[in-house]
Structure 1
Amino acid sequence: MKATANQQPSGTRTSSKPVVVETVNYYKQLGVRVNATPKSIEAGYEAKIKEFPQEQYPEEFRKIREAYDNLSDPIRRDEYDFTRKNGSTQKLDTLIDKGTDAFAAGDFRLAEELYRKVLELKPDHSGASIALSGVYLAEDKLSMFDEVWKKVEALSPSTRSSVIGTMLQIRVLLQYERYEKALSVARALDKKHRAWRRVYLTDYTDVLMMNQLGDEAWGIYEEMAGELKEGLDEDLNENNDVELKGDTLQFYFYWIKIMVYTNKMQFWHKVKQEIRAYLRSLPEGAERESAVERLLEESRELAENRAYKEALLFAELAHYIDPGNPAVQQQRTLAQGGNKLLLETDRLIKDKSMYPGVQAKANDFFTSEGYRHPAERLDQAPPDGMWPSGGAEHGDYFMTEGIRIMKRKYPHVYKSHQQLWDKLMS
């Protein structure tokens, strides 16, 4: 549901399904009560991972980790509690499920009717409000969309719930690629509740990035990094019993992504030093383990999308605080290799002495899952004056010779798809 900081707008489209509230019971997964203290949540987590170690129960361990990550952070927990407020009943769940099916089938009228029925029975059912607002966006009924969220705002008992409700509204708008509308809502939120910016910062960042406002986002993060460093976090809870500081690690994740997206790598040393200071401050145990796992997850996701340079940044941070972890070592090595491949591929493509057919295939191998047509013969014409003419037969010769040169000059490019290169030569 959530956009990432380095995504770019891709035009308006209608989502195939509405946003639906998760029904996973994180409290039950950790074996704690809904009013559990942070210490009780950590104790529940420690007990569960001992009962279900990762090596023997990978799926159970993943669910336990997910539950802990969502409940140990006050903002995530607040969002989770908001969307599952007062629980649910079988009747309401059935109506929501039928509404989701109707929406997927394109029957917006029936979906609207079902979601409205839920809200008649339970006016503060956030899941139904979110889904109904998605129906109105799909039908391009912006005034009706606004009406839904005005009612959510009116039913919000506190500033905190109001802010979280607006965050969910922004996410729905981003999912349906209503970037300008999302920017308007986000700016209004920032103007009204600036003191809460740490809470809604990542959503605000998503909006800025989707509207190509990366430099503005960078300025905000530099400002807030200074606040973090000086310990200026405010107690945002109206009852002064819980301090909401936001997800600090997520803050740094986004700062790195914005740095890369806005091409400000000259600031990496500064950003890295501040992140390392934060990581060093984490106590041994569940909190530090969770940070390592989140760094690894981020690195893996970036590597899967061939963003090896960024993947290496996160892998190096994980290695900094847990160098002996085999999973960290493995991911770091993978990211290092991918980064070398990326640099070599870039140099090869810019190498004017290389045969263009080799350059084209190197780019194809890097950007696709693999060479989909191994029997296909390249006959791409080289630039005038670089290679003698002579038709396909000469083209085959220069392709073969080009691969041999590439194998020597760019070994990572060759080794990354050795079988494909060898097959192409033969």
Structure 2
Amino acid sequence: MSDSATHYEALGVAEDASEKQIKAAFYKKVRKHPPEQDPDGYKAIREAYDVLSNPVARKEYDNMAAYGDEIKQLEDEAEDLLSQDPPQVDAALKKLKKAVVLGPEIGLLRNRLGDVHYMNGEYQKALVQFNKAIDLDGSNPAYRLSKGHAQRELGRTQAAERTFRTVWEEDTGDYAAARALAGVLFDQEQYEDAHSVLDTAIWEDGKLDFEDFFCYYDKLRYYVLQGQTEKLKEEMEIVADLPESSEDRQFAAFMLGQSGFQLYELNAFDLAHEFMDVATNLDPDSELLQDLAEHVFGLRGLQKELNAIMESDWAHEYVKQIMALYYTRAVDEIPQHEFEQRMETGIDNLEMVMQVDPDSSEIKRSLRRIRRQYPEAYGLNESLFDAILSLPDAEMFAGECPYCQDTITAHKQQNRGAGHCPNCNREIRFTGSAYKKPRSSSRSQSSQSQSSRSRPSQQTPSQRTSSRNQSSGRSSTSSASGTHSSSDAPGSREDSSGPERAYEKWTDEEEKQLVNWKAGGISLDEIASRLKRSKSAVRSRLRKVDSSTKKSDGAGEERKQDPISSSGTASQSTESESSSLAEGLLTAVALFIMFLVFLTGC
């Protein structure tokens, strides 16, 4: 069908064809150019039918062809511009506007100008032209349907419904008006009314004709969107039994195939499989259907496995994310370059996640189960998943403090034993796979309470303040599973080799940067951000560096104390010296009292 063909040529009728002949020719052409399969071909024959089936529009068309050479030339040039790839819409609009100036009373030109505005997304301008076309010929249903579509796009849903209903009620068998009205009803969630309109149009003449399949196509599509699987099965059986001619079977197969693919996208795999079976049986030679069927059948098992994994509570979230990413690429839902970018980020995250338990162990456990129970999902990238399983066990562990639930990250081997939570400063015990309360915490607390009553003060206020300051240091470290706080090593001490932190050491370079930045007037927040540590950890380290500097200036060699634990060697020494002094004083007082008693007795 050439772009320059007349409406008569498009339908294959003579210029003096009757209304009945024009209608018959249109329906014959529709079988070869269904709207869902050949939208451009259908548009040409539908436009020809709308013009030639209406007496007023047909007369305008004939007059333009006979006497409007300049108008006809502008219209043909506009159509040529619209047929280019991509369509030259702006240039075509200029041509049509000139034609309208030459023939302002021709409704066909007004309607066509409105069509091109609509195509360009200019719905308000389109509506203006459709209204002017209706003013010239109010009986033309095509003009009024165009108006309804513009109203719908402008969000004037109820106005569009009224427009479509007026046209449909004039001819309830007109599938174009029925589909338009049902669509706007469905938009308003009036599902029963939408199906009722389509059923009326389908069975208007008491039989299912080829043109009725267009309304059936909408019914199936609406049932898919509603999730009405039982209704879909009923309609599928009706459609499968009715087609008689090869053209009927081909379109029915196309319709069922499209519905099957929509069901597949909604994860209704079994029903999608049934629809594709019926569709391919109706039209086994269709390449399009074969491609759809291969897609649905080939990914059916994989989809079921992925759904089971995604809905499980045993699969690690990272595993779910990477499986979903590979699947979206497998079904071409994302382009290759986007997939590669997201995978690069995912691999970077994976390297961090696999360094810390329990995430590392849970990921491996999830992949082993997938390899055993869901082979198609594991096959999305078997080499990557095998590589993850072959990684060494994580050396770090992240878990919650048993008191304050703050997350702590520590080395599983180096940091076993007793220590303190950097958040609440309570004593905890690290087993390598969990942070627990000390075994003898209750006895220790009781003993400390009795000792406190018997010896109310073993430290001066300044000593107690110093001890609290020394035990207040905290730190934080980032792991793959989030940002975790970390305390000094359980049981760690400082010796002559320098201070040692439990879960992450301060390097000489870091301390040098810390001092230089502080001297340069950089804020505590900025320093913490640069070193990727908490403000409390930076503040504690600055205090310690300052203290060490002062001591080295005044006294030479210093005795080093544990920065976190209040039970370090230095504090133990201080407590021991205080205790010895107290015991000496008590002894002296006792001897003095005994001496007084002796004198009194004398």
TM-score normalised to structure 2 length? 0.46
Compute the displacement of 1:352 (Å). Answer: 0.3
Q: Distance in 1 between matches of 2:89 and 2:203?
A: 50
Higher strand share: 2
Q: Distance in 1 between matches of 2:362 and 2:182?
A: 49
Q: Distance in 1 between matches of 2:88 and 2:287?
A: 46
Specify the structure having the higher radius of gyration (Cα).
2
Q: Distance in 1 between matches of 2:363 and 2:150?
A: 50
Query: Is it true that 1:164 corresponds to 2:142 in the alignment?
Result: yes
Q: Distance in 1 between matches of 2:318 and 2:138?
A: 65
Compute the displacement of 1:305 (Å). Answer: 6.6
- 1:208 maps to 185
Q: Distance in 2 between matches of 1:152 and 1:169?
A: 10
Query: Is it true that 1:377 corresponds to 2:347 in the alignment?
Result: yes
Change (3 A) 1:66 1:402: same
Matches within 5 A, 1:339-418: 339-367=300-328, 368-369=333-334, 371-372=339-340, 373-375=342-344, 376-377=346-347, 379=349, 391-392=355-356, 395-415=359-379
Unaligned runs of 5+ in 1: 1-21, 50-60, 234-243, 381-388
Change (3 A) 1:75 1:43: closer
- 1:153 maps to 134
- 1:286 maps to 247
Q: Distance in 1 between matches of 2:118 and 2:307?
A: 45
Q: Distance in 2 between matches of 1:203 and 1:149?
A: 16
Q: Determine helix, strand or coil for the equivalent of 2:347.
A: coil
Change (3 A) 1:288 1:127: same
Q: Distance in 1 between matches of 2:5 and 2:285?
A: 34
Q: Distance in 2 between matches of 1:67 and 1:81?
A: 20
Compute the displacement of 1:351 (Å). Answer: 0.2
Among 73, 85, 93, the alignment partner of 1:90 is 73
Compute the displacement of 1:361 (Å). Answer: 1.8
Query: Is it true that 1:184 corresponds to 2:159 in the alignment?
Result: yes
Q: Relative contact order (C-alpha < 8 Å, sep 6+): which is higher?
A: 1
Compute the displacement of 1:156 (Å). Answer: 3.5
More displaced stretch, 286-295 vs 120-129: 286-295
Change (3 A) 1:264 1:127: same
Compute the displacement of 1:268 (Å). Answer: 2.4
Q: Distance in 2 between matches of 1:417 and 1:170?
A: 51
Q: Distance in 1 between matches of 2:283 and 2:81?
A: 47
Among 93, 99, 104, the alignment partner of 1:118 is 99
Change (3 A) 1:37 1:181: closer
Deviations 1:310-349 (A, max 9, x none): 8646423313424576764553342133344333322211
- 2:398 maps to none
Q: Distance in 1 between matches of 2:6 and 2:272?
A: 29
Change (3 A) 1:294 1:257: closer
Whichever residue aligns with residue 165 of structure 2, its letter is: D
Q: Determine helix, strand or coil for the equivalent of 1:89.
A: helix
RMSD between superposed Cα atoms in Å? 5.2
Cα contact 1:45–1:68 (8 A) shared by 2: no
Compute the displacement of 1:357 (Å). Answer: 0.9
- 1:251 maps to 215
Change (3 A) 1:334 1:27: farther
Unaligned runs of 5+ in 2: 66-70, 391-602
Deviations 1:400-420 (A, max 9, x none): 442332233333433456577
- 1:78 maps to 49
Q: Distance in 2 between matches of 1:146 and 1:28?
A: 28
Compute the displacement of 1:114 (Å). Answer: 5.3
Cα contact 1:308–1:339 (8 A) shared by 2: no
Cα contact 1:357–1:379 (8 A) shared by 2: no
Whichever residue aligns with residue 275 of structure 1, its letter is: V
Q: Distance in 1 between matches of 2:34 and 2:162?
A: 36
Q: Distance in 1 between matches of 2:82 and 2:40?
A: 31
Compute the displacement of 1:23 (Å). Answer: 4.2
Q: Distance in 1 between matches of 2:192 and 2:285?
A: 33
Cα contact 1:26–1:71 (8 A) shared by 2: no
Deviations 1:57-110 (A, max 9, x none): xxxx999x84997399x9686358689956783323445778999xx9998xx9
Change (3 A) 1:220 1:297: closer
Compute the displacement of 1:181 (Å). Answer: 1.5
Q: Distance in 2 between matches of 1:419 and 1:173?
A: 55
Aligned residues: 352
Change (3 A) 1:200 1:343: farther
Compute the displacement of 1:41 (Å). Answer: 8.3
Compute the displacement of 1:186 (Å). Answer: 2.7
Compute the displacement of 1:350 (Å). Answer: 1.1
Q: Distance in 2 between matches of 1:68 and 1:192?
A: 24
Matches within 5 A, 1:180-329: 180-191=155-166, 193-197=168-172, 198-209=175-186, 211=187, 213-214=188-189, 216-222=190-196, 224-225=198-199, 228=202, 231-232=205-206, 247-279=211-243, 282-283=244-245, 285-293=246-254, 295-296=256-257, 302=262, 309=269, 312=273, 314-322=275-283, 328=289
Q: Distance in 1 between matches of 2:300 and 2:98?
A: 53
Change (3 A) 1:130 1:290: same
Change (3 A) 1:105 1:364: same
Percent of residue pairs bearing the same amino acid type: 12
Change (3 A) 1:43 1:106: closer
